[in-house]
């Protein structure tokens, strides 16, 4: 997850044109520049062109202590990019008549049920709503469990009981009334798949999704089996600080537990593309692929974020586990796309800039590029002053829980403890010199503000959202 409040490696790969002089590869250059600037140990990419993986390459180190290089076969944790792969597995059960998109999910669950309350009386939690983040379920994401620490059962995660480290997954908004990202909803999907099939989740996903798509390197097994560990990258926090034990364990397999490679995720994206146009249907039917890529609430389909229009329609997802970041994007019609995976948590624009270089090199139609934010009129200076004070105090670990929702306060507190990632990172920026409002909007019951903070050593984008009660419901920063 992004830092909440959310070994420089110089690489230059030269390509020789047949019969011509040495020339720099623009994609290699972009990856190298971002890795060096943001202290990212390793990167792996896969590029889709014409419905095929035409380039797969690793850069840098899978493990800094051993010097093992990243190769196209190196395993990374996909974080939330696990969700669209899970969605395809659940939709395969819909095609088989074993799950319903629109029935009350409690009629299909066996070993656990969504607790009924005042929000579920007239509108039910359904698979469609769970896959599209509109079921009203709680718990945004999961930090995982340190290697060797006690790991809860799935039911303990669902009920928030020890040793689970996240709250109970419950409904606190009328299902279907709004879009709100919920990794917790995908844990319910995981339980539904287990209950309907009678199989362990990794076994079902391997047999019915990973194997049919040729994703041979991938697994939802948690913890990672010992025979796969030599192929796995070590995860790193910002500034190449290794995750203790190399990575975390995620019993929340459906929303966060996939180990994979960019090439395997590219095969998933190609399967979506081919199913959509009816060229092949290895897992889901053409009709179901269309449903998957139909907006449900806002710009989200079933497991996938959607963007663009017409011939430039795209689908994708990004993801984060402790020490790993992933980005997947693909065009619905042109057979183009890319996957970038890193063994570092990086909240800057490094990965998007790598993808922009790929888009330029392969002439993707109308792919959006990041633009420097421009200041706008600030009509709420009191809000700006509060956000500025929060960040100035955060550099010393100061934190007022009353300003935040309970869920966000629980996420922020460890980030600002001594040695916490957000506190350490903010302290490294030096003194805060200026703050400028660059965006404001009202959406889904939230008032959201976007700023550019200029510190002594870094320019940082800050995003802050207030709920209807005036408490901060979202707060994170990313180096510009």
**Most confident by average pLDDT, 283-297, 391-405, 443-457:** 283-297
- Domain of 270? 79-361
pLDDT of residue 202: 98
More confident residue, 229 or 429: 229
Please check whether residue 368 lies inside any domain of the structure: no
- Assess whether 98 and 177 both reside in one domain: yes
pLDDT of residue 24: 67
Domain count for the chain, please give it. 2
pLDDT of residue 66: 97
Question: Which residues partner with 339 through β-bridges?
Answer: 46, 328
Question: Which residues partner with 316 through β-bridges?
Answer: 305, 329
Nearest to 316 by CA among 292, 296, 297: 292
Please check whether residue 43 lies inside any domain of the structure: no
Please check whether residue 369 lies inside any domain of the structure: no
Q: pLDDT-derived band of residue 19, with 50, 70 and 90 as boundaries? A: very low
For the beta carbon of residue 300, count every other beta carbon within 10 angstroms: 18
Please check whether residue 260 is in contact with residue 217, taking contact to mean a CB–CB distance below 8 angstroms.
Answer: yes
For the beta carbon of residue 97, count every other beta carbon within 10 angstroms: 7
Q: pLDDT-derived band of residue 7, with 50, 70 and 90 as boundaries? A: very low
pLDDT of residue 102: 98
Residue 16 pLDDT > 60: no
- Assess whether 337 and 433 both reside in one domain: no
Lowest mean pLDDT, pick from 208-212, 238-242, 345-349, 428-432: 345-349
More confident residue, 284 or 371: 284
More confident residue, 9 or 211: 211
Please check whether residue 74 lies inside any domain of the structure: no
Mean pLDDT of 14-43: 75
- Assess whether 314 and 422 both reside in one domain: no
Please check whether residue 422 is in contact with residue 15, taking contact to mean a CB–CB distance below 8 angstroms.
Answer: no
How far is it, in rounded angstroms, from Cα 214 to Cα 221?
17
Mean pLDDT of 384-411: 93
- Assess whether 357 and 386 both reside in one domain: no
How far is it, in rounded angstroms, from Cα 101 to Cα 347?
35
The domain boundary, picked from 361, 392, 422, lies at 361
Exposed/middle/buried for 61, CB within 10 Å: 0-12, 13-18, 19+?
buried
Supply the mean pLDDT for the chain.
93
Exposed/middle/buried for 141, CB within 10 Å: 0-12, 13-18, 19+?
buried
Structure tokens at 366: 């109308």
Lowest mean pLDDT, pick from 44-53, 109-118, 296-305, 371-380: 371-380
**CATH number of the domain that 409 lies in?**
3.10.450.590
How far is it, in rounded angstroms, from Cα 345 to Cα 22?
34
Q: What is the pLDDT of residues 298-314, one digit of tens each?
A: 899 999 999 999 999 99
Please check whether residue 309 lies inside any domain of the structure: yes
Residue 480 pLDDT > 90: no
More confident residue, 72 or 460: 72
DSSP state of 425: H
- Assess whether 122 and 245 both reside in one domain: yes
pLDDT of residue 425: 84
Please check whether residue 462 lies inside any domain of the structure: yes
Mean pLDDT of 223-237: 97
Residue 320 pLDDT > 80: yes
**CATH number of the domain that 169 lies in?**
3.40.710.10
Q: Which residue has the tokens 């404001």?
A: 440
- Assess whether 286 and 237 both reside in one domain: yes
Mean pLDDT of 58-72: 98
- Assess whether 277 and 393 both reside in one domain: no
- Assess whether 132 and 274 both reside in one domain: yes
Q: Dihedral of the CA atoms 192, 193, 198, 201 (nearest 10)?
A: -120
Q: What is the pLDDT of residues 260-278, one digit of tens each?
A: 999 999 999 999 999 999 9
Mean pLDDT of 168-191: 97
Residue 389 pLDDT > 50: yes
Mean pLDDT of 366-376: 90
Q: pLDDT-derived band of residue 17, with 50, 70 and 90 as boundaries? A: very low
Mapped to the 3 state alphabet, what secondary structure does 372-408 carry?
A: CCCCCCCCCHHHHHHHHHHHHHHCCCCCCHHHECHHH
Q: pLDDT-derived band of residue 453, with 50, 70 and 90 as boundaries? A: very high
- Assess whether 437 and 301 both reside in one domain: no
The domain boundary, picked from 361, 392, 410, lies at 361
Nearest to 176 by CA among 135, 121, 232, 148: 135
Share of the chain above pLDDT 90, in %: 84
Q: pLDDT-derived band of residue 20, with 50, 70 and 90 as boundaries? A: very low
Residue 347 pLDDT > 80: no
pLDDT of residue 457: 85
Please check whether residue 80 is in contact with residue 186, taking contact to mean a CB–CB distance below 8 angstroms.
Answer: no
DSSP, collapsed to helix, strand or coil, labels residue 84 as helix
For the beta carbon of residue 382, count every other beta carbon within 10 angstroms: 7
């Amino acid at each position: 997850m992004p830092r909440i409040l959310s070994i420089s490696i110089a690489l230059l790969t030269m390509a020789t044109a047949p019969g011509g002089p040495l020339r720099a590869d623009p994609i290699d250059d972009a990856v190298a520049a971002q890795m060096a600037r943001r202290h990212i140990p390793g990167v792996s990419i896969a590029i889709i062109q014409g419905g095929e993986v035409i380039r797969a390459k690793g850069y840098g180190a899978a493990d800094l202590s051993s010097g093992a290089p990243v190769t196209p076969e190196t395993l990374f944790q996909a974080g939330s990019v696990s969700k669209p792969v899970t969605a395809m597995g659940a939709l395969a059960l819909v095609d088989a008549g074993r799950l319903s998109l629109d029935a009350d999910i409690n009629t299909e669950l066996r070993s656990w049920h969504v607790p009924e309350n005042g929000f579920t009386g007239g509108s039910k939690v359904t698979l469609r709503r769970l896959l599209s983040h509109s079921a009203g379920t709680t718990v945004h994401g999961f930090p995982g469990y340190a290697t060797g620490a006690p790991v809860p059962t799935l039911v303990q995660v669902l009920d928030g009981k020890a040793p689970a480290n996240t709250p109970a997954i419950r409904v606190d908004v009328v299902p279907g009334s709004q879009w709100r990202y919920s990794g917790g909803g995908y844990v319910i999907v995981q339980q539904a798949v287990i209950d309907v099939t009678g199989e362990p989740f990794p076994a079902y996903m391997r047999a019915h999704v990973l194997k049919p798509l040729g994703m041979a390197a991938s697994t939802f097994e948690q913890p990672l089996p010992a025979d796969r560990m030599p192929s796995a990258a070590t995860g790193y926090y910002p500034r190449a600080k290794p995750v203790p034990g190399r990575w975390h364990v995620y019993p929340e397999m459906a929303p966060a537990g996939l180990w994979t490679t960019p090439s395997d995720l590219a095969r998933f994206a190609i399967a979506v593309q081919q199913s959509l146009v009816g060229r092949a249907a290895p897992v889901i039917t053409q009709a179901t692929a269309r449903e998957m890529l139909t907006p449900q609430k806002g710009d989200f389909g079933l497991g996938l974020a959607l963007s663009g229009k017409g011939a430039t329609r795209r689908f994708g997802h990004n993801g984060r586990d402790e020490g790993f970041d992933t980005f997947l994007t693909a065009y619905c019609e042109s057979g183009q796309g890319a996957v970038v995976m890193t063994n570092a948590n990086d909240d800057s624009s490094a990965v998007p800039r790598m993808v922009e270089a790929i888009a330029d090199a392969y002439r993707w139609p109308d792919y959006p590029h990041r633009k420097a934010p421009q200041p706008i009129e600030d009509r709420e200076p009191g809000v700006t002053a509060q956000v500025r004070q929060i960040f100035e105090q955060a550099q010393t670990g100061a934190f007022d829980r009353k300003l935040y929702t309970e869920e966000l306060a629980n996420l922020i507190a460890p980030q600002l403890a001594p040695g916490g990632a957000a506190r350490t990172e903010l302290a490294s920026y030096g003194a805060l010199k200026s703050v400028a409002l660059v965006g404001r909007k009202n959406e889904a019951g939230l008032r959201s503000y976007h700023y550019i903070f200029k510190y002594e050593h870094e320019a940082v984008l800050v995003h802050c959202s207030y709920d209807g009660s005036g408490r901060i419901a979202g707060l994170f920063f990313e180096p510009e």
